[in-house]
Copies of this chain bind each other. A is one copy, B any other.
Amino acid sequence: MEEFRRVNAAALHDWVARAMRATGVPAEDATTVADVLVAADLRGIDSHGVARLRRYVVGVQQGTMKAHPNIRALCDTPSTATLDADGALGFVVGRKAMEMAIEKAEKVGIGVVVVRNSNHYGIAGYYAMMALEHDMIGCSMTNARSRIVPTFGRRRWHGTNPIAVAVPAGRERPYVLDMATSVVPDGKIEVCNRLGKPLPVGWVINEKGEPNTDAADVVARQRTDQDGGTLPLGGEGELLGGHKGFGLGLLVDILCGVLSGAAWGPMIANNVPANLGHFFAAMRVDLFRPLDEFKAEMDRMIRRLKAEPTAPGHDRIYVAGEKEFEFAEQRRMAGIPLHQSVYQELRQIADELGVPFEL
């Protein structure tokens, strides 16, 4: 049996939307869930795609993720807003909040919207990229389940707390940064576990501060309250800048959690409701510099960077997001390779929900 099975992206999208509708989620919102999950799979971020569908299906079935939330603004000014997601699917309130930020930016130059009482929203980059078609710089962050050990700490504190920023270019592809503020996102550990691969030294430490390279053990420990966890970007201690990664992760928790009134740090454990917080921002480019000038300069920078000499053993320098755009082009043509374990799980969800699965 092949380890991976290629499925058509459009067909997968269609089925995911139908599956979410079958859980009771309104059609438009079900499509949003499919949009974000399949975008992750297309972009090669397999950990954040349909491999996680079950948690959303179960979330809606159990009511911890509401199919019909009452999303409302707690504060709303021309440039800012705070939304209470009322336990919505993160995707649904995420798209709405980013649309609001873009609308505000359209009118007053910059828009920032924060969200409380939300759930996991998939890839942060999806929301940041929504700004691109409006010729804006987009930004999105979210906090997440407690995973990361603070610099000089021993116990998991905040989550992988990603930062995503998208910047339009001209003829070149846009710049799209989408990074966990930890050495690795949870998803890469999940993928290693699924593939039975060991983790590299420098990703996760155990309760004694020693490297833990056993992916299955790491995933199992994440469900307990044992000490140890994933390291912040920059690694252990301060020598190589671990305090910077920890500082960035804490900043995401401040902007997503404290500013919005959501949970933060170890308050976000495996319990439900998650009360996650998100941050969304959009900023017009043309208020700083004529748009065509800006785009031409982005192109010049990207081209010049890509023409730089490479390190021994490497033949390309990548701009943030470039690999993901290439993945998406390739996978849109050749299909998305789903690991058999993911494929089988989708089949099972299809059976459970009674939504025909012919992928």
Contact = CB atoms under 8 A, between A and B. Distances in A.
Q: How many copies does the complex hold?
A: 2
Interface in A49-105: 74-75, 77-80, 82
Interface in A123-177: 137, 149-155, 157, 165, 167, 175, 177
A241 B255 CA distance: 23
A311 B207 CA distance: 9
Interface in A209-263: 209, 227, 233-235, 239-241, 243-245, 247-248, 250-251, 253-255, 257-261
Given A80-B287, A312-B208, A294 B259 contact: yes
A28 to B, nearest CB: 27
A250 B320 contact: yes
Given A110-B79, A234-B233, A318-B151, A289 B265 contact: no
Of A175, A254, A266, A284, chain B has the most CB atoms within 10 Å of the CB of A254
A11 interface: no
B80 A109 contact: yes
B250 A319 contact: yes
A334 interface: no
A310 B152 contact: yes
Contact of A289 (B78, B208, B260): B260
Interface string A269-296: 0000000000000011101110001100
Contact of A251 (B175, B253, B261, B309): B175
A192 to B, nearest CB: 13
A311 B246 CA distance: 15
Interface string A173-209: 0010101100110000000000000001011000011
19 contacts: A78-B108, A79-B110, A80-B109, A80-B284, A149-B311, A154-B310, A175-B251, A202-B240, A208-B312, A233-B244, A234-B241, A235-B240, A250-B305, A251-B320, A254-B301, A257-B301, A258-B298, A259-B288, A259-B289
Q: Which 5 residue pairs spanning A and B have beta carbons closest together?
A: A79-B109, A152-B314, A247-B320, A179-B244, A80-B287
Given A108-B108, A234-B241, A234-B245, 10 more contacts: A75-B287, A149-B311, A150-B305, A154-B311, A155-B308, A177-B251, A233-B244, A233-B245, A241-B245, A260-B289
